[in-house]
């Protein structure tokens, strides 16, 4: 492999010398004053060409060294980023272990931690995907909560290794709730960008902006889960019920880690 390279190098050097000789011979009468000039000037030019070629080769070696060093630094940086991601995951797992016992005691049920890795708007539904599925024991209509005890949603579909979750703001989502300290009862229904609407709240029943809303436990949802706070109340003098809208707490918390109630 080295012999062809050496042959080509010698051929290029001979070509450069031949060109410099030709340049000195045909550049004009003043360049052909003597045979000495005809030989010396091309040799001088040829020597300069060799020095220039040497400088170019040195620059090339230096650039190649810098490129190798840059690749090494990039590789080390990627390894560091990978290690950092692993440490962040371990920290999240440790936080989950600290949250789970208290939440498990409060709910009186087994919990399965899961991570949300994708969210999308499907038709008229807000849906997120979690990284636990039927192989982990997840079923349709499992309740999803946060580590703080906030109601997140319910599983809508399950697959082997993941599940889709309908959030509380999904129009198909409904849960029985209690409003404020007086415990005004109602049914909270998902209302997309309006959050949730609480139906069946009578005109004379208390529902004030800022009141906290909790699950009532009259359905498949555990009691005392945080749902949100009353955002707006619209009395309707012509009807039996007033329109009550709440802002879900799920919109205000970190959803990187959730829990499935099994």
For 169-211, the pLDDT digits (tens) are 999 999 999 999 889 999 999 998 889 999 999 988 999 999 9
Rg (CA), the chain: 38
Distance CA 153, CA 166 (A): 5
CA distance 126 to 167: 6
Q: pTM of the entire structure?
A: 0.64
Look-up of token digits 């709440």: 246
Structure tokens of 251?
Answer: 């919109």
Q: How far from each other are the two terminal CA atoms of the chain, in whole angstroms? A: 68
pLDDT per residue as tens digits for the range 2-40: 456 566 666 666 666 565 555 554 455 554 444 445 445
Segment holding 155, helix H or strand E? strand 151-158
Q: Are strands 226-234 and 212-215 parallel, antiparallel or unpaired?
A: antiparallel
Q: Can you give the pLDDT at residue 156?
A: 93
pLDDT value at residue 32? 47
pLDDT of 125-139, one tens digit each?
A: 778 999 999 999 999
Segment 100-115 mean pLDDT: 80
Contacts of 23 (CB under 8 A, 6+ apart): 42, 45
Average pLDDT over residues 64-79: 78
């Amino acid at each position: 492999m080295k012999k062809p390279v050496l042959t080509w190098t010698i051929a290029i050097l001979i070509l450069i010398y031949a060109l410099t000789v030709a340049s000195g011979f045909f550049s004009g009468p003043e360049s052909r004053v003597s045979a000495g000039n005809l030989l010396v000037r091309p040799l001088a030019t040829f020597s300069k060409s060799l020095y220039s070629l040497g400088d170019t080769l040195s620059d090339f070696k230096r650039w190649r060294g810098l490129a190798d060093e840059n690749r090494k630094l990039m590789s080390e940086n990627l390894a560091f980023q990978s290690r950092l991601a692993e440490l962040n995951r371990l920290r999240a797992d440790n936080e989950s272990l600290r949250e789970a016992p208290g939440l498990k005691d409060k709910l009186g049920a087994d919990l399965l931690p899961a991570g949300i890795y994708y969210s999308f708007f499907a038709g008229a539904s807000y849906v997120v995907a979690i990284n636990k599925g039927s192989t982990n024991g997840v079923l349709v209509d499992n309740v999803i909560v946060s580590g703080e005890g906030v109601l997140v949603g319910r599983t809508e579909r399950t697959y082997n290794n993941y599940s889709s979750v309908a959030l509380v703001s999904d129009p198909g989502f409904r849960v029985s709730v209690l409003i404020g300290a007086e415990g005004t009862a109602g049914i909270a229904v998902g209302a997309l960008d309006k959050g949730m609407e609480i139906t069946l709240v009578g005109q004379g029943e208390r529902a004030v902006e800022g009141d906290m809303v909790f699950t009532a436990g009259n359905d498949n949802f555990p009691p005392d889960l945080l749902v949100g706070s009353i955002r707006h109340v619209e009395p309707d003098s012509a009807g039996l019920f007033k329109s009550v809208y709440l802002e879900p707490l799920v919109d205000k918390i970190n959803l990187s880690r959730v829990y499935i109630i099994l």
